[in-house]
Amino acid sequence: MKRFLFSLIVIACAMNSFAQAPPVAWESVSVSGTGRSSVTPDRFSFNVGVQTVGNTVDDAVSQNNKRVAAVLAALKAAGAQEKDIQTSNFNIYPQQNYQEGKPPQILGYQVTNSVTVRSSKVADAGRLLGVAIAAGVNTSSGINFEVADQTRGRDQGLQAAFNDAKAKATVLAKAAGRTLGRVLTVNEGTYSAPPQPYPVQRMAMEARADVPIESGTQEQTYTVSVTFELR
């Protein structure tokens, strides 16, 4: 009877130890992959302005208003819609002469009025920019090309990133004398599609021709982190 009770105790202890044992961790390899896709921009925007100088604020503003009105009228006549034109900045700066030991002397005033033009008609970018210059624009801060639908190219980019990760994992598994098993985890990493502004320097008022502009393509980058089981 004592021997029977001892056997039961041993079995119970063994079962309890088995129940409390931590689960066996999968042997795995974790890698990251990068994929890219190229898309053609379908929107553009540019910022242009008119800068004038006058002896008084009224003089500088009056000159500026006339030239900006001419620019806006020319843009609309060239096909730009009102909803695509937005005033983006308006500044008045006193032009001062500084002399040591004396208070600044105001020599005149500089007025700058900037407008931003946006459109989905990418082919019109150079023509509209040329029209604005011809109408009186004398400052510009650049032109940007954008992709309106950020999901364009996403599937191809993510698939390429996963394939890159799998290829890396395959090499590592082979080096370790193993093979890849099932996918244990997949995490999407960072995504970037930085639009690079096309620099447009300050322009002369005499310019009359369309500005030669190429929208090119934008490269979008995707990354994923994948953990594969090792067999």
CATH top-level class of 42-149: alpha beta
Cβ contact 29:231 at 8 Å: no
CA distance linking residue 226 with residue 31, whole number of Å: 6
Q: What are the pLDDT digits (tens) for 165-217?
A: 999 999 999 999 999 999 999 999 766 555 444 444 333 334 446 677 667 77
Distances (CA, A) of 132 to 49, 53, 82, 108, 212: 9, 19, 15, 26, 14
CA distance linking residue 161 with residue 221, whole number of Å: 9
**Strand ranges inside 11-121, DSSP E:** 28-39, 43-54, 85-97, 105-119
User: What is the pTM (predicted TM-score) of this model?
Assistant: 0.63
The structural domains of the chain, with segments of one domain joined by +, span 42-149
What token pair was written down for 145?
Answer: 């090309």
